[in-house]
Structure 1
Amino acid sequence: MWIKSCLMILLFSLSVCAFEKPNIVLLFADDAGYGDFGFQGSHHFRTPHLDALAEDGVVLTQFYVSGATCGPSRAGLLSGRYQQRFGFEEINVPGIMSPNSKLLGDEMGLPTDFPTLGNYLQDLGYKTAVFGKWHMGVADRYHPLKRGFDEFYGFRGGARSFFPYPQPEKQKHENLLERNFGEYKEHKGYLTDALADEACDFITRHRDKPFFAYVSFNAVHTPMQPDPKDKDEFPQLTGNRRKVAQMTLSLDRACGKIIGMLKELGLYENTLIVFSNDNGGPMDKNGSSNYPFSGVKGTQLEGGIRVPGVVAWPAKLPKGGTYDFPMITLDLIPTFVTAGGGVPAEMLDGVDMLPYLLGENKERPHQTLHWKMETRGAIRDGDWKLLRFPDRPPRLHNLATDPGEQVNLAAEYPDLVKELFKKQFEWEMELERPRFMLRREEEALSARRADEFSVPPAADY
């Protein structure tokens, strides 16, 4: 009897310990379209591994990023704070500065005076790694190994070739593939595959301790370079639409390989896995589709800031469900820290997602969300969303009835417009001045895209 009791206590203790510190894997796509995944309803794209992950977890139907372009969005993700609080809002780094600025492109990056997602998890005993796109500054002081990550395999800049550079010595160092700090050597084969292989190796080496893998794919960002083995796939599509479908297929296979390794090592059940994307698809550049939303990357329409979201933790979260209240990538740090046994810092702007996904908290995680880039701004309060422009009257939309933002209700609800303007201004009073000036032609083009209210045709969805 005594032996049986001891065994029961031991088994209970082991089961509790198993769930105290889950492994954490963040699978992050680049410039993907909201509608370009099977679990999002796409009829043309094939994403079987991510679809299976969605069936094992919860699909977030109203998941947002904190910025409509790569750099600001990732700054919010990695800090857990609205990036405008520390002046990182207007430009992807590195970039061209204004003539009066004392900073140079290489000196632009995520400020070093606060902890990152990596730091928070290191403090909880996690081994941390980044695979792929960093895009938080190319100067050495911004390097991932100095910002809370134990390992790095990727590139410091914002985009690069999916194939090895034949003459790497002619490339800028931020475009080159780097292992840890300063060890530059080009990969073999297709980069999406190489990143998955490196992530699997990291998982295998650290299977006996809690780990965090931030797998920051550069797929499906330009250049449009599908894997040659997929050249015959998606014959019904043409141009960049076909290429982005092929690149998404590679992305899905890579995610499947990582998930498969977790299963092979017996780690899958107690791994918290999140899949998402850094901003809306640019559409004109990579052929992506943000259907059913208006807007593209660089705009604060839903197509620029609402992204796919899947959260799976098979041992703890329900399977095959959806969560329909708004959440945001700012919520990832509080969620990961809490899951890892820590207490989220007070300065964070997000919330722990788990009580909401488990149904323990029935309230909205966020009554109000904000976006800002230069003089453009947006606020979502409940189901109401106000868009502010520098050169035209505001737009007001009820997202519950008009998710495509086609019907402007500003003239019908002037008092609500004033109220939302006031809330947005109060939030903006908390922010720092932008650190980097908006000067690049690409960013100026993104600003002009605020005029685009078209919805991609369902026939090409």
Structure 2
Amino acid sequence: MKKLLLIVFTCYIPLGCSAQQQNTSETKKQPNIILLFADDAGYADFGFQGSKEMITPNLDKLASQGVRFTQAYVTHPTCGPSRAGLITGKSQYRFGYEENNVPTYMSEVSAADGAEMGLPVEEVTMADYLKKQGYATAVYGKWHLGGADRFHPTKRGFDVFYGFRGGARSYFEYTEGPAEPLNKMERGFGNFEESKEYLTDAIANASLDFIERNTKANKPFFAFLSFNAVHTPMDALPEDLAKFPKLTGKRKIVAAMGLALDRAVGKVLDKLKELGIADNTLVVFTNDNGGPTDANASSNLPLSGIKATHLEGGLRVPFLMKWPGKLKPNTVYDFPISTFDLLPTFYSAAGGNNTELKDIDGVDLLPYINGVKTERPHQTLFWKRDARAVIRKGDWKFIRFPDRPAELFYLPEDERELNNLADQEPERYLQMYKELFAWEATLERPRWLLKKEYEWRDVERMDNFWPKKNTQ
């Protein structure tokens, strides 16, 4: 009898342990992570943002399935610095990535020029961190973080790259090569090949093989789809243009380009569902800066300002996050966040310990979204470019200009920044002025500088898209 009991007991232990190990494995299964990143899209140009002109059913569905953020900010109002902050999880101003868009189309900028301007090689990227957690990593589309070989995505933590190193290119195949070599389509490192597909579709389609391959290998993956839509040039497919008979000019074209962007997003989301991995995938959609209304007819309403300005229309962007079972669907998060929060959020979701992240400014957003933490993720946020600079402290926003006195706004009652409260709040005005300068004193000097004429141009653009200035 004792022998029988012993046999039963020893059989029970392995069975119990096996079930426990299986449950633990399921609990700790790492999510796949997909970052869908638009380029120069207008704040208002999506159905989930209230647009009645744009057709964005896939993104609208994503919004209904996840969390929509009403006060999501980029780290800079232009493409290159914004991407540098996003991918490092820190304020790019702290390593001198302040001034410029890493242009491949200007000369005489500074000591470093063209392809030599890029994300410093000592900075650790989002992909670097996720690879440490066992992720396969890929980036598709626009890089814009340096054209020289040492800045290449495959040397910055990404296993796979299909896209272009520069900042803007045709959406159609180049038959004779682009004027700027950095805008050639490249697969991997140094393998240049043009696609015959419309570029927005090509970016999405290229990612599907990576998603499927790693799903079959049971390996968690991070896919960064860095679309160049809806950045200029204004290229659209005839069949997409036909969907907007009531629109004309650039507004018609940007709507068609936005439709293609939404279609590309739909392809990715459909693939997740087809493979049965949608419930274990964290998906984020956002944009690199405010829309440049003067260039592509995008709309940032009801916000004032456009790309390259420090008004809300230059800094605040659409932002969606979906993670089934982890985030409540069809919800809204109203406190300010920043795109540099994505790195620690992804790292935490991947099972990493955020104390391992050194010298970053972002925070893990998940406990804030879920209500575990009820305070704001950020009490203070900063931006600057040359003599212009901004501090947002709580709900107050202070803007310093190069050609007029600084102004102070209370955003909950004035998101269009029309009512300067500097005279009514002199103590707050002075305190924020000093705090902004104290922050600037901690920064690295800019690694390169634009000609001053470009700064003058952007101040003019600000006034042209600031209603209170237009009425004076």
Mark yes or no: TM-score above 0.5.
Answer: yes
Shift of 1:72: 0.8
The amino acid of 1:229's aligned partner reads: E
Which range is displaced more, 7-16 or 194-203? Answer: 7-16
Shift of 1:11: 4.8
Match of 1:17 in 2: 28
Provide the rounded CA distance (Å) in 1 between the counterparts of 2:255 and 2:263.
12
C-alpha contact (below 8 Å) 1:98/1:437 kept by paired residues: no
Distance change in 2, residues 1:348/1:123 (3 Å): same
The amino acid of 1:188's aligned partner reads: K
Question: Aligned pair 1:278/2:288, yes or no?
Answer: yes
RMSD: 1.8
The amino acid of 2:62's aligned partner reads: L
Which of 363, 366, 378 lines up with 2:378 in the alignment?
A: 366
Please give the per-residue CA displacement for 1:261-318, whole angstroms capped at 9, x wherever unaligned: 0111111111111000000000011010001100000000000000000011013111
Aligned positions, number: 452
The amino acid of 1:365's aligned partner reads: P
Shift of 1:448: 2.6
Match of 1:120 in 2: 129
C-alpha contact (below 8 Å) 1:69/1:297 kept by paired residues: yes
Shift of 1:383: 0.5
Distance change in 2, residues 1:359/1:338 (3 Å): same
Question: Aligned pair 1:147/2:156, yes or no?
Answer: yes
Which of 458, 462, 465 lines up with 1:446 in the alignment?
A: 458
The amino acid of 2:43's aligned partner reads: Y
Match of 1:165 in 2: 174
C-alpha contact (below 8 Å) 2:241/2:252 kept by paired residues: no
> Normalising by structure 1, what TM-score?
0.95
C-alpha contact (below 8 Å) 1:291/1:455 kept by paired residues: no
Question: Aligned pair 1:177/2:167, yes or no?
Answer: no
C-alpha contact (below 8 Å) 1:94/1:109 kept by paired residues: no
Which range is displaced more, 212-221 or 226-235? Answer: 226-235
C-alpha contact (below 8 Å) 1:94/1:138 kept by paired residues: no
Provide the rounded CA distance (Å) in 2 between the counterparts of 1:266 and 1:322.
27
Within 5 A, what are the aligned runs for 1:343-382?
A: 343-344=353-354, 345-382=357-394
Shift of 1:17: 2.9
3-state SS, counterpart of residue 141 of structure 1:
helix
Question: Aligned pair 1:48/2:57, yes or no?
Answer: yes
Match of 2:242 in 1: 232
| Percent identity between the two aligned chains | 54
C-alpha contact (below 8 Å) 2:28/2:351 kept by paired residues: no
Provide the rounded CA distance (Å) in 1 between the counterparts of 2:173 and 2:206.
16
Provide the rounded CA distance (Å) in 2 between the counterparts of 1:455 and 1:276.
26
Shift of 1:14: 3.8
Within 5 A, what are the aligned runs for 1:40-439?
A: 40-95=49-104, 96=106, 98=108, 101-168=110-177, 171-207=179-215, 208-344=218-354, 345-439=357-451
C-alpha contact (below 8 Å) 2:418/2:467 kept by paired residues: no
Please give the per-residue CA displacement for 1:172-202, whole angstroms capped at 9, x wherever unaligned: 3211100010100100220100000011111
Provide the rounded CA distance (Å) in 2 between the counterparts of 1:316 and 1:260.
20
Q: 5+ unaligned residues in a row in structure 2: which ranges? A: 1-7
Distance change in 2, residues 1:225/1:363 (3 Å): same
Shift of 1:123: 1.1
Shift of 1:113: 1.1
C-alpha contact (below 8 Å) 2:41/2:231 kept by paired residues: yes
Match of 1:459 in 2: none
Question: Aligned pair 1:31/2:40, yes or no?
Answer: yes
Shift of 1:447: 3.4
Structure ranking higher in helix proportion? 2
Shift of 1:157: 0.3
Which range is displaced more, 447-456 or 268-277? Answer: 447-456
Provide the rounded CA distance (Å) in 2 between the counterparts of 1:228 and 1:155.
24
C-alpha contact (below 8 Å) 2:111/2:448 kept by paired residues: no
Q: 5+ unaligned residues in a row in structure 1: which ranges? A: 457-461
3-state SS, counterpart of residue 41 of structure 2:
coil
Shift of 1:15: 2.3
C-alpha contact (below 8 Å) 1:97/1:436 kept by paired residues: no
Provide the rounded CA distance (Å) in 2 between the counterparts of 1:124 and 1:97.
40
> Normalising by structure 2, what TM-score?
0.92
Provide the rounded CA distance (Å) in 1 between the counterparts of 2:454 and 2:208.
35
Provide the rounded CA distance (Å) in 2 between the counterparts of 1:285 and 1:97.
21
3-state SS, counterpart of residue 413 of structure 2:
coil
Which range is displaced more, 141-150 or 223-232? Answer: 223-232
Provide the rounded CA distance (Å) in 2 between the counterparts of 1:401 and 1:411.
17
Match of 2:5 in 1: none
Please give the per-residue CA displacement for 1:143-191, whole angstroms capped at 9, x wherever unaligned: 00111111100000000000000112x5432111000101001002201
Provide the rounded CA distance (Å) in 1 between the counterparts of 2:358 and 2:200.
36
C-alpha contact (below 8 Å) 2:153/2:161 kept by paired residues: yes
